[in-house]
């Protein structure tokens, strides 16, 4: 299946938190969407890999994505090496996405910024005809970087997800092991940022929504200059 939009992330639930609304919106517009999780999140304090895979499948159904796969690379040990790049490139060739969403290339978690570099280099390598992996040479047309996790970055644009916000919330909360932990875990003295993560991304969505004149939005960054053909129809007021 050829995808219109593919989101690549380090862990199950990363996509839902950072660009889930955008994936839902694209699916609602009739585009074929997909998710590629690089690890099973096995180093997480809560849940286990099997549970998280089931939760990821449930979240995928809620978001309406056509394809979701997990490469099973080592959680907390993602590296930018040849084997991992070729594994991602093979999926790029298989699914042939027109647009790819990656995590922002800087951040607190090494897996996130390594996922960004792995994804970018895999997109490039997948277009080399002599690359020794199956499939026809293919290179995505557009790469977007989600900046939801890094509030210090000024995004290039934001996507209005007001109509998709509640469904995105349902997709996030499909990860019950992460966001509704057993009471005995809630009493843990170990501080887990995850306890506040859903609320934080919701606040981020409200912030960028306000910046573009809607209720909720998801921010993205591109490296290249964006083309506008009709400056009269540009959205978002200046004054």
Could you tell me the pLDDT band of residue 64, with boundaries at 50, 70 and 90? very high
Q: How far is CA 133 from CA 68, 86, 94, in A?
A: 20, 7, 11
What pTM did the predictor assign? 0.92
219 is written with which tokens? Answer: 């921010």
Q: Which residue has the tokens 């989600």?
A: 146
Mean pLDDT of 197-214: 94
Mean pLDDT of 201-225: 97
Q: How far is CA 124 from CA 91, 117, 118, 141, 178, in A?
A: 13, 11, 10, 10, 34
pLDDT at 191 over 50: no
Mean pLDDT of 65-91: 96
SS3 15: helix
Determine whether domain 5-224 maps to CATH 3.30.300.30: no
Could you tell me the pLDDT band of residue 189, with boundaries at 50, 70 and 90? very low
Whole-number Å distance between alpha carbons of 190 and 19: 28
**Side-chain-facing half-sphere of 148: CA atoms under 13 Å:** 31
pLDDT at 4 over 70: yes
Answer yes or no: are the C-beta atoms of 7 and 15 closer than 8 Å.
Answer: yes
Say what the alpha-carbon torsion angle 217, 221, 225, 230 is, to the nearest 10 degrees. -10
């Amino acid at each position: 299946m050829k995808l219109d939009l593919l989101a690549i992330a380090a862990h199950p639930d990363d996509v839902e938190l950072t660009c889930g609304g955008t994936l839902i919106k694209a699916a609602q517009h009739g585009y074929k969407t997909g998710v590629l999780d690089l690890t099973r999140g096995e180093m997480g304090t809560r849940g286990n890999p099997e549970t998280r895979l089931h939760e990821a499948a449930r979240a995928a159904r809620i978001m309406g994505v056509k394809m979701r796969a997990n490469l099973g690379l080592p959680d907390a040990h993602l590296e930018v090496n040849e084997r991992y790049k070729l594994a991602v490139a093979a999926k790029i060739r298989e699914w042939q996405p027109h647009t790819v969403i990656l995590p922002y290339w800087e951040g607190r978690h090494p897996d996130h910024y390594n996922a960004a570099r792995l994804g970018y280099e895999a997109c490039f390598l997948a277009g080399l005809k002599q690359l020794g992996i199956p499939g026809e040479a293919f290179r995505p047309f557009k790469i977007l970087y989600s900046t939801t996790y890094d509030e210090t970055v000024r995004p290039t644009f934001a996507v209005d997800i007001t109509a998709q916000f509640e469904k995105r919330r349902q997709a996030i909360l499909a990860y019950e092991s992460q966001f509704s932990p057993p009471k005995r875990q809630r009493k843990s003295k170990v501080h887990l940022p995850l306890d506040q993560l859903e609320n934080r991304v919701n606040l981020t969505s409200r912030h960028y929504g306000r910046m573009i004149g809607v209720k909720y939005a998801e921010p993205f960054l591109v490296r290249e200059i964006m083309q506008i053909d009709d400056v009269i129809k540009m959205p978002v007021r200046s004054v």
